[in-house]
């Protein structure tokens, strides 16, 4: 059973789906909140401490991707997208915006429970890691990374370019770059990258990683067509080839 102090916000305009998710997650020990519009989402987030959001991408006249993007502008609350079975493009875009996982309809109750537990566990592990550094006297905000005249500051969720200006990265692009700079000069398989960033089963034909790398290259490479920082290792994955200095 989960700790019932954790709260899950279920966002769906179909009352049957909301009832199904509320029943399976409520039975797993979570406090449940429900919303079917962006206004109701805002009210729930304003008035409650929410630990995870399940977000349907097709909300009638509203777009779940827009809601997810708006949430990510000011919050890192874990988001699990609920997609239609064939919504491949929406799934990829959602992950790039910063969703943590996805569930495709029709879904099995046990799958929902397992994914929610997994995403909350990963989120709490990340938070606990930051708190552990603070308890040891380490200033988390002081740990930044410099590479090729760029500076990545995880504590501020910011990337500064050689000109000192902050670069506009999506959540997914930032998380991918953070993974690269913390594992420089090491080959990372696509499986490893997907496991680290999203932690869900995926098809070897899934192009999410390649699409994210292509977008990140456009923002940090002098010539994205001839990358010097993020290099492709044919048949395996990618390697961050730059020298990285912790500052």
Convert the pLDDT of each residue in 56-100 to its tens digit. 988 877 788 889 888 887 787 889 988 875 566 666 677 667 788
Pairing relation of β-strands 187-189 and 230-233? unpaired
pLDDT at 91: 64
Longest pairwise C-alpha distance within the chain: 53
- Note the CATH architecture for domain 140-246: Orthogonal Bundle (1.10)
- Note the CATH architecture for domain 7-133: 3-Layer(aba) Sandwich (3.40)
**Stretches in the chain below the pLDDT threshold 50:** 1-2, 129-142, 201-205
Nearest residue to 129 (alpha-carbon basis) of 69, 193, 178: 178
Pairing relation of β-strands 158-160 and 187-189? unpaired
Q: N- to C-terminal Cα distance for the chain?
A: 42
pLDDT at 194: 79
pLDDT at 126: 55
Domains of the chain, by residue range, sit at 7-133, 140-246
Residue spans of beta strands (DSSP E) within 157-210: 158-160, 187-189
- pLDDT by residue (tens digit) across 142-160? 478 999 999 999 888 889 9
Q: Are 53 and 77 in contact (CB under 8 A)?
A: yes
pLDDT at 127: 52
pLDDT at 90: 65
DSSP code for 158:
E
């Amino acid at each position: 059973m989960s700790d019932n102090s954790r709260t899950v916000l279920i966002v769906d305009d179909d009352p049957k789906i909301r009832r199904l998710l509320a029943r399976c997650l409520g039975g797993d020990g979570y406090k449940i909140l429900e919303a079917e519009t962006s206004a109701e989402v805002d009210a729930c987030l304003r008035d409650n401490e929410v630990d995870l959001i399940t977000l349907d991408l097709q909300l009638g006249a509203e777009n779940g991707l827009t809601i997810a993007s708006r949430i990510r502008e000011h919050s890192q609350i874990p988001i699990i997208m609920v997609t239609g079975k064939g919504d491949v493009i929406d799934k990829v875009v959602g992950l790039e915006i910063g969703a943590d996982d996805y569930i495709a309809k029709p879904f099995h109750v046990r799958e929902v429970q397992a994914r929610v537990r997994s995403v909350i566990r990963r989120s709490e592990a990340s938070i606990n890691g930051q708190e552990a550094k603070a308890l040891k006297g380490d200033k988390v905000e002081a740990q930044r990374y410099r590479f090729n005249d760029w500076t990545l500051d995880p504590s501020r969720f910011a990337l500064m370019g050689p000109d000192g200006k902050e670069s506009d990265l999506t959540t997914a692009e930032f998380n991918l770059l953070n993974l690269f700079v913390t594992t420089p000069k090491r080959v990372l398989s696509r499986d490893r990258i997907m496991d680290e960033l999203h932690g869900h089963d995926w098809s070897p034909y899934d192009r999410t990683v390649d699409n994210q790398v292509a977008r990140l290259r456009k923002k940090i490479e002098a010539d994205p067509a001839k990358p010097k920082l993020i290099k492709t290792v044919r048949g395996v994955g990618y390697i961050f080839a730059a020298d990285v200095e912790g500052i």
